[in-house]
C-alpha cells in the first residue's frame, strides 16, 4: 500500500462514524446522490460496483435500483468505513449487497462481471483519476455504465461567498495528504475535472451537469 493510501485508510478508519453522519445528513447531499444514481440508469438485475463506497451512504439507493435479482459490490480501502457499511448492510438485511476491502485504482473485480461502476467523492482522492476511470471503463466493457458524483470549486458567481466555506470543508474533511498539499482546492479541481473528462472520452453519450450552485459535478455514460 502506498503512503498516500495508508494515510487515507487511517483517516477514514479513525473518523468513520463522524464521516457517516456527514455523508448521510449534510443538507442536500441525499438529493445529489439520488440525482447521480438516477443518471446511471441501472436496470433491475444489474451488478453494480461502487468504488470508494465509504460508510455505504449510496447503498440504499443502489440496492433499491438493482432489485433483489441484482447485486451491489462496495469497495473501499479503509477498514473503519467498511465496518460501518457492513453494519448498514446487516441492519437492512440486504443479502445481495457485499462490501469488500480493495483499491479502487486496481479493483478486485473480474473484467466483464459488472454492468455499472459508480463512485461519489472519490476522484479527488487519487493521483491519477483519469487512469482510474479508464480502469473502470475496461472493467465494465462496451455497453457498461459509468457514473460519477464529485464536489469541486464553483465558478458560478452566486457561489463566490460560499467558496471560503467550501475550502474549510475540504481542508477539514480530508486526510493530511490532501490538507497539506500546497493548493488543496486546485488539486481537487484538477482531479475532479480529469475524472469527468475521461468519462467523456470513454462514453460518447456522456451526460454531465452541475448542481448545488456549481459545487457538485455529475457525469454518467455508456462505455463505447
Give whichever of 1 and 209 is closer to ligand SAM, judged by the CB atom.
Answer: 1
| d(C-alpha 60, C-alpha 48), whole Å | 13
Q: Which of 121, 130, 152, 220 binds ligand SAM (CB under 6 A)?
A: 121
Q: Does 130 bind ligand SAM (CB under 6 A)?
A: no
Task: Answer yes or no: are the C-beta atoms of 73 and 47 closer than 8 Å.
Answer: yes
In the window 152-171, what residues touch ligand SAM (CB under 6 A)? none
Stretch that binds ligand SAM, among 59-67, 73-81, 187-195, 200-208 (CB under 6 A): 73-81
Pick from 203, 204, 121, 104: nearest CA to 169:
121
Number of residues located near ligand SAM, criterion CB under 6 A: 21
Nearest-angstrom CA–CA distance, 149 and 140? 18
Between CA 50 and CA 89 the distance in angstroms is 14
**Residue 115 beta carbon to ligand SAM: minimum distance, rounded to whole angstroms:** 19
Asked if 203 contacts 224 with a C-beta cutoff of 8 angstroms, the reply is yes
Closest CA to 48 of 61, 57, 35: 61
Angle at 188 between CA 41 and CA 15, to 5 degrees: 85
- How far is the C-alpha of 222 from the C-alpha of 13, rounded, in Å? 33
Q: Which of 59, 62, 122, 148 binds ligand SAM (CB under 6 A)?
A: 122
Cβ-proximal residue to ligand SAM, closest one: 54
Among residues 191, 165, 163, the alpha carbon closest in space to that of 105 is found at 191
When asked if residue 77 is in the footprint of ligand SAM (CB under 6 A), the reply is yes
User: Binding ligand SAM by CB under 6 A: which of 104, 114, 140, 216?
Assistant: 104
Q: Which of 42, 53, 63, 89 binds ligand SAM (CB under 6 A)?
A: 53
146 binds ligand SAM (CB under 6 A): no
Tell the smallest beta-carbon distance from residue 204 to ligand SAM (Å): 26
Stretch that binds ligand SAM, among 41-49, 54-62, 88-96, 200-208 (CB under 6 A): 54-62
Contact predicate 220/133, CB 8 Å: no
Smallest CA-to-CA distance from 219 within 111, 138, 128, 145 is with 145
Considering only residues 49, 81, 146, 199, which one is a binding residue for ligand SAM as defined by CB under 6 A? 81
- For residue 116, state whether it binds ligand SAM (rule: CB under 6 A): no
Among 65, 120, 198, 222, binds ligand SAM (CB under 6 A): 120
Which residues lie near ligand SAM (CB under 6 A)?
5, 8, 12, 23, 52-54, 57-58, 76-78, 81, 103-105, 120-122, 125-126
Amino acid at each position: 500500500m502506498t503512503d498516500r493510501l495508508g494515510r487515507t485508510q487511517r483517516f477514514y478508519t479513525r473518523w468513520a462514524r463522524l464521516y457517516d453522519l456527514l455523508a448521510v445528513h449534510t443538507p442536500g447531499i441525499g438529493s445529489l446522490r439520488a440525482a447521480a444514481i438516477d443518471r446511471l440508469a441501472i436496470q433491475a438485475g444489474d451488478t453494480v460496483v461502487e468504488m470508494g463506497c465509504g460508510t455505504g451512504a449510496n447503498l440504499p439507493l443502489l440496492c433499491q435500483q438493482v432489485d433483489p435479482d441484482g447485486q451491489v459490490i462496495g469497495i473501499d480501502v479503509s477498514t473503519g468505513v467498511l465496518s460501518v457499511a457492513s453494519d448498514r448492510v446487516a441492519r437492512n438485511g440486504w443479502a445481495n449487497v457485499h462490501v469488500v476491502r480493495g483499491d479502487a485504482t486496481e479493483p478486485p473485480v473480474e473484467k466483464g462481471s459488472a454492468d455499472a461502476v459508480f463512485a461519489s467523492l472519490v476522484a479527488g482522492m487519487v493521483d491519477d483519476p483519469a487512469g482510474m476511470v479508464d480502469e473502470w471503463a475496461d472493467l465494465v466493457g462496451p455497453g457498461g455504465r459509468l457514473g460519477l458524483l464529485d464536489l469541486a470549486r464553483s465558478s458560478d458567481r452566486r457561489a463566490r461567498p460560499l467558496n471560503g466555506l467550501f475550502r474549510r470543508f475540504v481542508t477539514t474533511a480530508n486526510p493530511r495528504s490532501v490538507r497539506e498539499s500546497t493548493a488543496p482546492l486546485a488539486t481537487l479541481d484538477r482531479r475532479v475535472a480529469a475524472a469527468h473528462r475521461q468519462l467523456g472520452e470513454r462514453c460518447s453519450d456522456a451526460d454531465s451537469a452541475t448542481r448545488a450552485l456549481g459545487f457538485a459535478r455529475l457525469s454518467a455514460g455508456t462505455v463505447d
